[in-house]
Amino acid sequence: MVRRQLAARGISDRRVLATLATVPREHFVPEHLLDQACDDLPLPAAHGQTISQPYIVAFMTVHAALTRRSRVLEIGTGTGYHAAILARLAGHVWSVERVPELSVAAGRRLGEIGVRNVTLVVGDGALGHAPEAPYDAIIVAAASPKAPPALLEQVAPGGRLVIPVGDRAEQRLMVYHRTGDGFETEDTGPCRFVPLISPDAFSAE
């Protein structure tokens, strides 16, 4: 998967590639989809959520520019797969999920593979997690009409917010890099994510 689906498509960060090679995606997908665990496809998860395709996980992680000391905030824990990858690359990860059952299940999966540097939080992802702010990187695994103000406020100087921005059907994956004068914005291309449900993003349907 890493060689044919990630490296061949331009992912060159060796730390990110090595991490995706060692985190078992099959541990995070539903049992009836185990035969697709190594496919470069998003897969359905419980409560209408998805586990992102490995390429998108790698792409977002590269643009977060993590170091081993990075403090990372993830919005949208889902199955816990991306949190497991971030945890191998960074110092500590705080992961916010609005569905309590998903957070509990993700915590169990993370514990089973020995991940200890992830703190799970149940709450409104658009509000981030102010008690531990600021963060060197914030990665949002759900689409928002715009970058939520609370998330921008929680980015540390020099840090980055990686987030899909657009409507429910189509988005652009945006990177907001905090500088001394505000934010530099980079549009990295089209993407499609489930909506971020929040008064500051999309309403539940």
Structural domain count, the chain: 1
- State the catalytic residue, choosing from 12, 52, 70, 95: 52
Domain housing 124: 2-191
Task: Provide the β-strand partners of residue 92.
Answer: 71
Show the tokens assigned to 145.
């009409």
The whole-number pLDDT of residue 167 equals 97
- 198 in active site: no
Is residue 38 one of the residues assigned to a domain?
Answer: yes
Q: Residues 179-186: contacts with CB within 8 Å, 24+ apart?
A: 183/152, 183/155, 186/63
In b/e form, how buried is each residue of 138-170, taking b as 16+ CB within 10 angstroms?
Answer: bbbbbbbeebbebbbebbeeebbbbbbbbeeee
Tell me the C-alpha distance between 30 and 62, whole Å: 26
Domain-embedded: residue 43: yes
Q: How far is CA 78 from CA 3, 7, 99, 132, 165, in A?
A: 25, 25, 9, 21, 19
Tokens 């499609």 belong to residue: 192
The answer to whether residue 55 sits within a structural domain is: yes
Q: What is the CATH number of the domain that holds 55?
A: 3.40.50.150
Task: Enter the DSSP assignment of 158.
Answer: E
Assigned domain for 145 exists: yes
Is position 140 within any domain? yes
Tell me: cis bond preceding 134? Omega within 30 of 0 counts: yes
In a domain, 203, yes or no: no
Identify whether the C-beta of residue 59 lies closer than 8 Å to the C-beta of residue 11: yes
Domain assignment present for 151: yes
Q: What angle do CA 195, 201, 205 make, to 5 degrees?
A: 55
| Range 188-192, long-range pairs (CB < 8 A, 24+ positions) | 188/59, 188/63, 191/56, 191/164, 192/143, 192/164
Crossing angle of helices 81-89 and 14-22, in 10° steps, is 130
pTM: 0.94
Does 199 map to a domain?
Answer: no
pLDDT tens string, the chain, 205 residues long: the values are: 777 778 878 889 999 999 999 999 989 988 887 887 777 777 777 777 778 889 999 999 999 999 999 999 999 999 999 999 999 999 999 999 999 999 999 999 999 999 999 999 999 999 999 999 999 999 999 999 999 999 999 999 999 999 999 999 999 999 999 999 999 999 999 999 999 999 999 998 7
